[in-house]
Amino acid sequence: MVSNLDVFELKRQVTAAILDTLQTRPALTYQQVADRYKVCRKTVFNIAKDNQIRRPTGPKPRYLTEAN
């Protein structure tokens, strides 16, 4: 049986690995990081948010950039 201490240690290690990846590989999307560590994208987003890590937003859709 796995103890709670082992589960918490594993979670800490995975979180640290995700943080390291977010900081060293800025070109990867949250989804790519999530796929790499077998977690959901929302988990990666929450880890990044809790540690004040942001990704640049994508380009604006054409309808927002065109003059009316």
Residue 63 pLDDT class (50, 70, 90 cuts): confident
How many residues are listed for the chain in this entry?
68
What is the spatial distance between Cα 31 and Cα 51, in angstroms, rounded to a whole number? 18
As for how many domains the chain has, the answer is 1
- State pTM to two decimals: 0.75
Residues 24-55 pLDDT 10s: 998 999 999 999 999 999 999 999 999 999 88
Written as one letter, the residue type at 18 is: I
Domain that holds residue 26: 4-65
Average pLDDT, the chain: 88
The pLDDT value recorded for residue 11 is 93
The pLDDT value recorded for residue 2 is 61
20: nearest Cα among 65, 28, 4, 60: 28
